[in-house]
């Protein structure tokens, strides 16, 4: 399976490293035509305003939405989650709107900018997963078709809707490949 990583801005290299270690063929995606050559896509963390602006400017958004409608599996992390959300609270910011969730940007907990936490993620087994949160989005609404796969302090931090997966943290910044493996296995093949 060839996995695309949206490489407009943010932590795309780190995702490529994790996937590379799993023996997966990756392709950095910067142009619409490159979306035709992949069987799954990762939207990395970074700055959702910058990534979003380029997505629409370069004509990638339209193609990505078309491929997602055909069933392309998409995994968004942090800013990627923001871009996959249907709505962002309180601000006018264009997103792909792929998942039926609402997020609030840079709003995790009380004024905490960045932190790490051990997450219990049932679908990954008993061993906790280290979540690295960097100005993470807070999920404030989850639609009926969206499954919550992990929470932190009662708030959803990992959600799935069919072949779409999104997390508020940065799984590419730890040595633990289990969430990428879950995406390529369970989510992509669903």
Helix, strand, or coil (residue 115): strand
Residue among 134 and 166 whose Cβ is closer to ligand GLN: 134
Q: Is 96 within 8 Å of 61 (Cβ atoms)?
A: yes
Sign of CA dihedral 32, 61, 186, 124: positive
> Which one of the spans 22-30, 34-42, 68-76, 78-86 is the region binding ligand GLN (CB under 6 A)?
78-86
13 is in an annotated binding site: no
160 interacts with ligand GLN by CB under 6 A: no
Could you report how far apart the first and last alpha carbons of the chain are, in Å?
14
Residue among 141 and 162 whose Cβ is closer to ligand GLN: 141
Q: Is 136 within 8 Å of 182 (Cβ atoms)?
A: no
84 interacts with ligand GLN by CB under 6 A: no
The Cα 20–Cα 30 span in angstroms is 19
List the catalytic residues: 78, 170, 172
36 is in an annotated binding site: no
Give counts: helices (H), strands (E), the chain. Answer: 5, 12
Helix, strand, or coil (residue 29): strand
Q: Supply the minimum distance, in Å, between the C-beta of residue 51 and ligand GLN.
A: 8
- Which of 26, 38, 41, 48 touches ligand GLN (CB under 6 A)? 48
78 interacts with ligand GLN by CB under 6 A: yes
Q: Which residues bind ligand GLN (CB under 6 A)?
A: 45-48, 78-79, 82, 105-106, 134-135, 137
């Amino acid at each position: 399976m060839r996995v695309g990583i949206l490489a407009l801005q943010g932590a795309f290299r780190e995702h490529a490293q994790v996937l590379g270690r799993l023996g997966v063929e990756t392709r950095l995606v910067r142009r619409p035509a490159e979306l035709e050559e992949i069987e799954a896509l990762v939207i990395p963390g970074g700055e959702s305003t910058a990534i979003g602006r380029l997505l629409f400017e370069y004509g990638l958004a339209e193609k990505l939405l078309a491929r997602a409608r055909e069933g392309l599996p998409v995994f968004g992390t942090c800013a990627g989650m923001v871009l996959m959300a249907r709505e962002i609270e309180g601000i006018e910011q264009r997103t792909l709107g792929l998942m039926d969730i609402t997020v609030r940007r840079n709003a995790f907990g009380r004024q905490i900018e960045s932190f790490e936490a051990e997450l219990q993620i049932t679908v990954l087994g008993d061993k906790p997963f280290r979540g690295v949160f960097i100005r993470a989005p807070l999920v404030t609404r989850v639609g009926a078709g969206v499954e919550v796969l992990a929470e932190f302090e009662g708030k959803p931090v990992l959600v799935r809707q069919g072949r779409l997966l999104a997390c508020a943290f940065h799984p590419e910044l730890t040595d633990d490949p289990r969430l990428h493996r879950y995406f390529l296995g369970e989510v992509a093949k669903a």
